[in-house]
Structure 1
Amino acid sequence: MSEVWLITGASRGLGRAILEAALHSGAKVLATARDITRFVELQAQYGANLATFELDVTDERQARHAVAEAVRRFGRLDVLVNNAGFGHIQPFEHIPTDDFRAEVETNLFGVVNLTRAAIPVMRAQGRGHIFQVSSAGGRIASPGLSAYQAAKWAVGGFSDVVGKEVAPFGIQVCTLEPGGMRTDWGHQARSTLTGLAPDYMASMAAFKALIESYVGNEVGDPERIAQLIVALAAREGLPSRLLLGSDALYVVEVEEAARSEAMQRWKPVSLAADFGTAPPQWPSA
């Protein structure tokens, strides 16, 4: 029996690659996006195996309708891929509140909305896979990505908790954390990084230079990542989080090593919070 997938943000970039890989594997897919005209050619190629749904993931009602449409068209829902998202690069001080909120609404609450809608269906079936397409940015801190990374950190924590809650129902929740990929994400994010204020040169200049040199030279192959996701959907015992790409592994290993070192340096202060403990030995500056 062909598995049924629902993919958000499926019209371009990694989402499009996941859509094509899933269809090629024989899956039936409800592909969602804000602009469903981008699916016309694939519909001609895959016919009844591909249904489309115009979706704003920030709208909880639309999210419920999308899941219901997948079940109506194909009878079930086996795999949910929460892929829709975007990012801007700006110092936090300069991000308008509405823009910050918009990133969090899409990158976090979009995931929350679809996950909430899918769980009852998968629970009734006794199985299902939920893939949250996050980022290595959900485990590190990059100057200029406060809204994006705040949402991605939240996606990881949210998904870890929900994964434990729904595991007894046969539902696996896996947060995917890719590094840089050769999609249009970097070009779009970089377009907002203009006219960096002199006050922020010290903290952001190095990251700005890295982004400008890296866009177009990312090591992550979206087609290979899509194929890995299709393979993961056929497996059990998935990790709660999975880094994808050598760059993702590297930056997270460096960040977590630094965090661990800081925790050990400040351990005496942490322990001094308990009843009956002596004043802490403060670490040297």
Structure 2
Amino acid sequence: MSKVWLVTGSSRGLGRHIVEAALAAGERVLATARKPKDLDDLVERYGERVKTAALDVVDPAAARAAVQVALDAFGRVDVLVNNAGFGHIAPLEQMPEDDFRAQIDTNFHGVVNVTRAVLPVMRAQKSGHILNVSSVGGRLGMAGFSAYQSAKWAVGGFTEVMRHELAPIGIHMTALEPGGMATNWGNEAASQIPALLPEYEPSIGALLKLLGEHVGKEHGDPQRVAQVALKLAYHDNPPAHLLLGSDALYFAGQAETERNAAGERWQAVTLSTDFGTEGDIPAMPQA
């Protein structure tokens, strides 16, 4: 039996690829976007198997309304893909406050809002899969991504907590953590860069040069990532986190190696703070 999907951010990028892959596989989909007219071609191609709805994920009422559209059309929701999101590169002190807040609201609170809206349905069904589109940036930090990567770290933590809450009900949750994908994300991320203060040239300036060399040459194929999402929706024991792409695997491994090395270097200080520990706090390790 086919599953019913609800996908946020469906008009372009990975969300669009996931919607198209699900429909091509015979699934039923509520595809949502801020401008649902961008999805009219899917309705023309797939007819009653796809419905569209306007959804700004930062609006909890809109999230509940979208879930109701899916229920009215298909009677259930089996798979939620929290895909809507964006990022902008800038030093924190040069990033407008409303832009920082918008990135956190969309990338993290949007995931929470739509998940909260769909949970009563999945709880009643005693089944469901929730795929949170995060990033390898949810495992590491890069200069210039203070809002975006902070939100993705939060998505990873949210996924960890919710897996424990939902597992006894029969609901699975996975954070997808791709590296660079050919979705035009890099161009959008670099679209609002301010004139950098000179102090940020060594960090964010260097990142921008690297990004300029990387955009258009990404390793990740969003169509293949969409196929992974399809398979996860039928898996009985999906992982909490799934890195996607050779670059994601490399950068996550590098970050983990650095964390482990720092933990070992500072272990004496870590252990010195327990009650009953004898002696002074040890000397701080030097670089």
TM range (shorter): over 0.9
Residue 103 of structure 1 aligns with which residue? 103
Superposed counterparts of 1:115-264, under 5 Å: 115-264=115-264
Please say if residues 190 and 212 of structure 1, whose CA atoms lie closer than 8 Å, have aligned partners that are also in contact: no
Identical columns (%)? 54
Superposed CA deviations along residues 197-231 of structure 1, whole A, max 9, x for unmatched, are: 21111222321111111011100000110011111
Q: Secondary structure at the match of 1:29?
A: strand
Q: Which amino acid in 2 is paired with 1:279? A: D
The match for 1:6 is 6
The amino acid of 1:74's aligned partner reads F
When the two structures are superposed, what TM-score results if normalisation uses the length of structure 1?
A: 0.98
Q: What corresponds to 1:89 in structure 2?
A: 89
Q: Secondary structure at the match of 1:57?
A: coil
Residue 259 of structure 1 and its aligned partner are, at CA, apart by 0.7
Q: What are the residue-to-residue correspondences of 1:16-95 with 2, within 5 Å? A: 16-95=16-95
Structure 2 residue runs without a partner (length 5+): none
2:161 counterpart SS class: helix
Letter of the 2:245 partner, please give it: G
Q: Which amino acid aligns with 2:179?
A: G
| Deviation beyond 4 Å, 4+ runs, structure 1 | none
**Structure 1 counterpart of 2:280, which letter?**
P
Question: Any stretches of 5+ residues in structure 1 without a counterpart?
Answer: none
Distance in 1 separating the partners of 2:261 and 2:68: 48
CA distance in 2, matches of 1:40, 1:165: 37
Q: Is the 8 A contact 2:272 2:282 kept in 1?
A: no
* Offset at residue 196 of structure 1 (A): 2.1
Please state whether the residue corresponding to 1:61 is helix, strand or coil: helix
Match of 1:268 in 2: 268
CA offsets, 1:152-209, max 9 Å, x none?
Answer: 0001101110111000010000000000001121111011234222111122232111
Query: How far apart in 1 are the matches of 2:188 and 2:203?
Result: 21
Contact 2:5 2:77 in 1 (8 A): yes
- Residues 94, 194 of structure 2: 8 Å contact kept: no
Give the equivalent residue in structure 2 for 1:284: 286
Are the equivalent residues in 2 in contact too, given 1:107–1:148 (CA < 8 A)? yes
Give 1:130 shift. Answer: 0.1
User: How many corresponding residue pairs?
Assistant: 285
TM-score (norm 2): 0.97
CA distance in structure 2 between the partners assigned to 1:193 and 1:99 by the alignment? 12
